[in-house]
Structure 1
Amino acid sequence: MTNTARFIRHGQSVEDRATGLVWSRSANPAGWPLFWDEAREYVATLNREAYLGHGDWRLPNRRELFSLMDYAQARPALPPGHPFTQVELAWYWSATPYAANPAYAWYVHTEGGRMFYGDKGRSYYVWPVRGRSPALWVTGGPETASGTPWPDPRWRAHGDTVRDLMGGLTWSRCADLGPGPVSWFRAMELAKEADAARLGGLGGWRLPAIAELELMVHAGHAFPALDPAAPFSNLQPQYWSATTSGFDPEWAMALYLDKGGVGVGMKKDAHYHVWLVSGQNSADE
C-alpha cells in the first residue's frame, strides 16, 4: 500500500487504512504541550464539543502511536507524503501507563520514533485518535483496551524455538544468541550463521524488525516487559533490531525489553543482545 493510498483525508480527519484508526489531521490541535492528566481532560473537552463532528476521541495507546512511525524517515519519522499538519518534533503522550510506576506514562518522539516513559507531570503534545483497530493487538496495559485481544495461549514451544501465535513468527527460545552483547554487524552475522545451521530445524532466521520486537512487549509488566507465560530462556534487557534509523544510518533501532522502550544504538558498539526470528514453522505444529 502506498502512503498516498494508506491515508485518506475526511476534512480535517485522516483515516489510516493500515490500521483502521482515524486521526486528527492536526497533530497538535491543543496548540501547546500538556500534562498527562490535562491531555486526558483536553480530549474529553474535544468530545463534549464534538470536535470535527465526533464525540469519541481519545488519547492513543502506545502501540497506536508507534504504528504511525516510519523508521526509514526522520524529522518527522512519518511515512513520506503523509497528510498531517502541525507535527511537532517532540514527545507525544500515549494513554498507556508505565507498568513499574503508575506516576509515569509512555510517549513517542516523532523526530526519530523513540518510545519511552516519563513523569505524567511533564508537558508533552496530544494527537487525538478515534476508532478501534483490528490490525493492532492490545498493549496489555491497564488503559481502556483498544485493538485485537491476544490469543490464549499465545505461545507454542518446540525444542529450540517458540511460535508466537499472535505475531505469526517463530523465535529462538534462547533469547541471547551472542552470547552477551554484540555489535549490530555481529548480530547480523549471527543471524546468517543460525540460518545456515538451521536452528531448531528451521531456516529463514534473521534479526527482527523493530515493529516485530515491539510486539513482544506486554505493557502491563516490567523487568521484563513480557508476558509472564512466555517460555523463553536467557532473557536480556536490550536487543538489536534489523531496522536502521532514518535519523542516522550508523544507528539501528533497539528494544529495551526490561522496561518496554524503543530506542537507538550505534551499530559499531557492542551494547545489545541478539534474539532471532523466522517466518517458518516447526513441522510438528
Structure 2
Amino acid sequence: MGRIRLLLVVLGASLINACGGGGGGSGGNTQPFVPVPTNTASGTVMFKGAPLAGAAVTVFQTNTNRVVATVATDANGNYSVSGLETSCTLSCKINYQFSASKAGYAFNPFMAANVSGDRLGYVWDPSGKSWYVNSGAAVTRAEYNGSFSNPNGGSGIMFNVVNLNSTVNNSITGANFNAYDGSNPPASVASTGQASSYVAGDDGALKKGVVFPGRRYTDNQDGTVSDNLTGLVWLKNAGCLNAALWANALTEANQLASGACGLTDGSKAGDWRLPNLVELESLVDVSASNPALTTGNPFTSVSTGIYWTSTSYYGGQGGSSNAWAIRMLDGRHINDTASSNLNIKATSTNAVWAVKGTSTGAARLLATGFYVFYASGDDGSLEKGAPLPAPRMRDNGNGTVTDTATGLVWLKKADCIQQSWAAALGTISTLASGQCGLTDGSVAGAWRMPNRKEMQSLADRAQGNMADYFNESFNSSAAGIASQPASFSNFATFQYYWTSSTNAASPGDAWSVFSCDFGVYNIPKGNAGYALAVR
C-alpha cells in the first residue's frame, strides 16, 4: 500500500560509499562517458473516481533512509518522476518506496496491473526476509523505525507504499493511489447479531452496523457454505480437518481440495486458506453461544473449542511464537501465555476451519494490518481484506477523529469515561459538545458506546501495543515526510475498554477489548472500565 515522494536525485557520497568509491589515477580515461541508466515511475492519484490534484508523492530511498524527491499531482491527478538510479554493482540493489499524502486524506496504493490490492509481505529489519521484489513493483507495508523520532517510545510509523527494486530497465507505470477521507471508506462494519437489550443504549437496543441478511448463510450443496453478509465461502464441515499445530493448520487448509471433506466444488490446492483473525471473527454472532454462530446455520461438526487463525500475535509474546485464536463456544479471543498453552504455535493443538474467496458482501472486511511473513499461507503472506489506509485517522480538530477505513467518527479523548458498564452507557448517552474535549456541536444522544465489531474495527495487528500506538505522535527525522499526530489522546494502557455487546454465554459479562493487544475478552459488567464513544 503506499505513499511516498518522488523525483530524481543523485545520492552522492552515501551511494558511493554503499557501492564502492572510485580511486584516483594518473592515466586518465580514454573511453567516452556513458551515462548510468536510470528509471522512471508514474501513476495517478484518485479520490472517489476523480483525479486528486495537489497530492504529494514522495520517493524514499531505503538504502540511505532518506527522501530523494517529492512531486505534486497535476490537475489530472498524474505524477511522474525520472532519474531513479539503478544498481551500482552486482551486489548493490537500489530500492525506492513511493507514498502519497495530502492534508485531510489517507491513501492506499495499487499497481494498475494488480488492482486487487494484494500486498507483498515486506519486513523492515528482521533477517531472512526479502526486502525486494525481483522485477516491476509491488504494493506493501513498511515500518519506518529508523526515520522517525517517537516521543513516547512507541513502535515505528506505518506507510503503505509502492515498492520498487530499481534495476536496469525496470521503469514502472500505473503506480497509482486511492485517497480516502472517511466519506468513502473501503470497508464497512457488520452488526454483531445481538438481539436482546439489557440496558438502554446497548448493542441490543441500537443494533448498529450492516444488518445480517434474512438468510445469513447459503448451503451450496457442494461442501461449501457462502456467507451472504461478507461474501466469504467456508468449508461446511468445520470438523473435518484435523486439530493441529499452527504450521500444520496452515498446510492443511492450503492443501484442501475438491474430493476431500465432502467437497465437490472443483476447488484445488491453494484455493483454501486458514482464515485471518478478522475473517474468523466475522462468523461470531454475539447473540448465540455453544457455538457462537447464527442460529440455523448449515455448518456441521462445529467445535465449541478453539480455532486457529492465520494471524500471528504481535503483542507481548511476539508474533513468531503465538498466533491468534478464537474460542467458538462464545467468541472469546485467545492470546494466553505459555502457562496455559492455548495459542503457542509450536505446542498448542487447535481446531482448523478453512475459508476461500474475498470479502465482497455488504459487510466488506478490513485486512488485519499484519504484514510480516512467517509461513506460507499465513496472514502476513496473504494480507486478505481491504487494505488499511494511511495515515488512517483524520483529526477533525474538534475533539473527534474520523476513521478513514470505516467512516466512523470517534471521541478523541480516550480517558474521559471510566465507569461500570451500565454507568458508562448512561454517560455516553448524554455526551455532548463541551464535554470530554468536544467542540463539535454534538448534542446528547448523538454518541453511543461502540459495539464489539465497531471496537474491533480499530485494530491494526501490525502493532505490538495498540494503546501506545494510538497515543504516539510521529515526528519525521527524514526531511520531506510529513509527521503525524496521535490518533487518540490518553488511550489507557493495560486497561479494558467496554463494548456495548453482552456475552450471550454469560449475560453478567460484557465483551471488552484489552487496550494493548486489542483482543476481545468477557469482563463482569460491574467492573470499572474505560469507554470510547462513537457515532
Q: Could you state the TM-score of these two structures normalised by the residue count of structure 1?
A: 0.90
Measure the CA separation in 1 of the matches of 2:510 and 2:432: 21
Q: Where does residue 116 of structure 1 map in the other structure?
A: 334
Q: Which amino acid aligns with 1:201?
A: G
Identify which of 380, 392, 397 aligns with 1:154. 392
Q: Where does residue 531 of structure 2 map in the other structure?
A: 274
Deviations 1:103-143 (A, max 9, x none): 10000111111112221120000010001113101000122
SS at match of 1:273: strand
Find out whether 1:242 has 2:519 as its counterpart.
Answer: no
SS at match of 2:517: coil
Measure the CA separation in 1 of the matches of 2:282 and 2:515: 18
Q: Where does residue 40 of structure 1 map in the other structure?
A: 250
Measure the CA separation in 2 of the matches of 1:3 and 1:249: 25
Q: Which amino acid aligns with 1:65?
A: L
Measure the CA separation in 2 of the matches of 1:16 and 1:195: 38
Identify which of 272, 275, 282 aligns with 1:67. 282
1:45 offset after TM fit, Å? 2.8
Q: Could you state the TM-score of these two structures normalised by the residue count of structure 2?
A: 0.49
Measure the CA separation in 2 of the matches of 1:2 and 1:209: 15
**Mapping for residues 185-264 of structure 1, pairs under 5 Å:** 185-195=422-432, 199=438, 200-203=440-443, 204-224=446-466, 231-236=487-492, 237-264=495-522
Which one scores higher on RCO, CA 8 angstroms, separation ≥ 6? Answer: 1
Identify which of 211, 232, 236 aligns with 1:25. 236
Measure the CA separation in 1 of the matches of 2:260 and 2:296: 28
Find out whether 1:54 has 2:267 as its counterpart.
Answer: yes
Any conservation in 2 of the 1:21–1:129 contact (CA below 8 Å)? Answer: yes
1:49 offset after TM fit, Å? 6.5
Q: Which amino acid aligns with 1:234?
A: N
Any conservation in 2 of the 1:163–1:171 contact (CA below 8 Å)? Answer: yes
SS at match of 2:256: helix
Q: Which amino acid aligns with 1:273?
A: Y
Find out whether 1:139 has 2:139 as its counterpart.
Answer: no
Q: Which amino acid aligns with 2:402?
A: R
Any conservation in 2 of the 1:217–1:257 contact (CA below 8 Å)? Answer: no
Any conservation in 2 of the 1:26–1:87 contact (CA below 8 Å)? Answer: yes
Q: Which amino acid aligns with 1:153?
A: P
SS at match of 1:103: coil
Q: Where does residue 282 of structure 1 map in the other structure?
A: none
Deviations 1:200-232 (A, max 9, x none): 322411100010000111011122265666521
Q: Where does residue 106 of structure 1 map in the other structure?
A: 324
1:256 offset after TM fit, Å? 1.1
1:123–1:192 distance in 2 versus 1, CA, 3 Å:
same
Find out whether 1:126 has 2:341 as its counterpart.
Answer: no
SS at match of 1:60: coil
SS at match of 2:321: strand
Deviations 1:164-209 (A, max 9, x none): 111111101011122xx42101211220231486743224111000
Q: Where does residue 283 of structure 1 map in the other structure?
A: none
1:153 offset after TM fit, Å? 3.5
SS at match of 2:251: helix
Measure the CA separation in 2 of the matches of 1:84 and 1:6: 12
1:50 offset after TM fit, Å? 6.9
Q: Which amino acid aligns with 1:19?
A: T
SS at match of 1:201: coil
Measure the CA separation in 2 of the matches of 1:247 and 1:147: 29
Measure the CA separation in 2 of the matches of 1:196 and 1:174: 13
Q: Which amino acid aligns with 1:164?
A: D
Q: Which amino acid aligns with 2:220?
A: H
1:81 offset after TM fit, Å? 1.1
Q: Which amino acid aligns with 1:119?
A: I
Q: Which amino acid aligns with 2:312?
A: P
Measure the CA separation in 2 of the matches of 1:2 and 1:213: 18
Measure the CA separation in 2 of the matches of 1:147 and 1:54: 21
Q: Which amino acid aligns with 1:98?
A: Y
Measure the CA separation in 1 of the matches of 2:464 and 2:400: 23
Any conservation in 2 of the 1:72–1:246 contact (CA below 8 Å)? Answer: yes
Q: Which amino acid aligns with 2:273?
A: R
Any conservation in 2 of the 1:3–1:81 contact (CA below 8 Å)? Answer: no
Measure the CA separation in 1 of the matches of 2:365 and 2:308: 18
Measure the CA separation in 2 of the matches of 1:216 and 1:165: 11
Find out whether 1:85 has 2:300 as its counterpart.
Answer: yes
1:191–1:224 distance in 2 versus 1, CA, 3 Å:
same
Gaps of 5+ in 1: 279-285
Measure the CA separation in 2 of the matches of 1:81 and 1:41: 30
Q: Where does residue 180 of structure 2 map in the other structure?
A: none
Aligned length: 274
1:47 offset after TM fit, Å? 4.0
Any conservation in 1 of the 2:258–2:267 contact (CA below 8 Å)? Answer: no
Q: Which stretch of structure 1 is more off in the superposition, 189-198 or 258-267? A: 189-198
